[in-house]
Amino acid sequence: MYKYVIDGGFPLKGTIRASGNKNAALPCIAATLLTGEEIILRNVPDIEDVHVMAEILRSLGGSATREEDQEGVWRFCGAGLNTSEISPEMAGKIRASILFAGPLLARTGSVTLPPPGGDVIGRRRLDTHFVAFEGLGAQVKADGVFVLHARKLLGAELFLDEASVTATENAIMAAVTARGDTVIENAASEPHVQDLCNMLNAMGGKISGIGSNILHISGVESLHGTDFTLGADFMEVGSFIGLAAVTRGELTIENADPRQLKMTKIAFAKLGIRWETEGTTIHVPSRQNLRVVPDLGGMIPKIDDSPWPGFPPDLTSIMTVVATQVEGTVLIHEKMFESRMFFVDKLIGMGARIVLCDPHRAVVSGPSRLSGSQLTSPDVRAGMAMVIAALGAEGESVILNVYQIERGYENLTRRLRALGAHMKRVTVAG
């Protein structure tokens, strides 16, 4: 167990390279079980969630090896797959364990999956996954443990009742080798879903409509190995932009892929924050006019999340912290997870002026002088928001349960210290 000890109030400056997309790495690792041939994945972030997914894959008989002499390169192979039953211990470590359901069902015709673990950010229903599997011909039983069977998956027209990212990914992985054609409507279209589709096509799949909410999949007999590079983690890039603003720093973010930041750019502009782009690099200048830009008529603006290409829900925690340092008032509306905003009481304890209206909405007025505090990370993104708040605060902060943060951010202490952060990762006694 570790904690972060942070001495805030120092501007962060320098160059940092964005990691590969965590949310693309996890389904792509699961998808390696769709073939018995080797898959090479590049630009894989060195985070806890990746290591847990690799551990689950090994427990199923697959192999997962990180190349020691090549940063971010992993080799996966599902040739040794010998079970389709995931243990409760493994499933409980990570919500993304459910992503093995689609590949296992397609490859073996059966899956036994205990309820997945993951962040505690409100109810996260799984119904969409199993309705999609049933639409492809699977039988589903749920009695504490999910048991799925399918003699042969058949292509079908699926309309998802919500644009769930992981349900879309599971449906894609189940359909890619199903007999016949599948159409998935109301599909999620996030960059990580696009990465999964592009990897499957590189393996011999036939998926079109990538990047839209209607996917067409022509089932193929089998898939083969490939060498695939993951895209940039736009959530991490957004976090670093917020970090630069809160600490009054100046950051250059390499491998940032600004194409995926169009709505994020609009949201940051509402807080007076802008950046420059050159190719795949983003430069966040230090001289920012941190002032809320009112809507027409002088109305208080709103930053709210929605499925892609809307503002990403994983960045609402980050934007809440940024808003505490901006002159003016803004409404943060987190529509998709009912418990994600509950971390704001910790920000209020640090001196932030925030009114939590209900589980989904918070009114933030700034700027506020934040003071160091003892904090506990409840989930990946709120944890990173706390790191940003601590780095912008006066005095020392201690953040506990940093395992949650390190599930999604690669070598965070080392990378931020290179930018001038006064931050230590300390072992918790006992």
Cα dihedral: 166, 172, 173, 177 (round 10): 170
For residues 41 and 236, give the distance between their C-alpha atoms in angstroms, rounded to a whole number: 19
Residue with tokens 């309820």: 115
Strand order in the sheet with 276-278: 13-17, 250-254, 281-284, 276-278
Neighbours of 149 (CB within 10 A): 17
∠ at Cα 398 (396, 403), nearest 5°?
150
Main-chain dihedrals φ then ψ at residue 100, nearest 5 degrees: -80, -15
Name residue 60's amino acid.
L
Q: Residue 211 — left, alpha, or beta (φ > 0 → left; ψ -120 to 50 → alpha)?
A: left
Active site amino acids: 119
Of 168, 181, 170, 174, nearest in space to 152 by CA: 174
Residue 260 makes CB contacts below 8 A (sequence gap 6+) with 191, 231, 232, 234
Strand order in the sheet with 395-400: 374-376, 395-400, 2-8, 422-427
Q: Residue 351 — left, alpha, or beta (φ > 0 → left; ψ -120 to 50 → alpha)?
A: left
Exposed (0-12), middle (13-18) or buried (19+): which is 321, by Cβ within 10 Å?
buried
Do residues 16 and 284 lie in contact, with contact meaning Cβ atoms separated by under 8 Å? Answer: no
